[in-house]
Amino acid sequence: MKTNIVQQVALKPIQELLNKKHAMIKRQKGIELATAMAMNVKPSAHDDEPMFMKLIRVICSDTDYKIRAIGAVFFKDFFRQCGAEIVGTLHYENVLLPEIIELVNDEETYVSVEALEGLLEVLEHCDVETIEEEIIPCVLKLIEVGNRI
pTM of the model: 0.82
CA dihedral in degrees (81, 79, 41, 35; nearest 10)? 110
Question: What is the pLDDT, as a whole number, of residue 1?
Answer: 43
Give Cβ neighbours of residue 124 (< 8 Å, ≥ 6 apart): none
What is the per-residue pLDDT for 146?
A: 58
* pLDDT for 77: 94
pLDDT for 142 equals: 74
Across the chain, which has 149 residues, the per-10-residue mean pLDDT values are 57 80 86 87 69 87 93 94 87 88 91 92 86 84 66
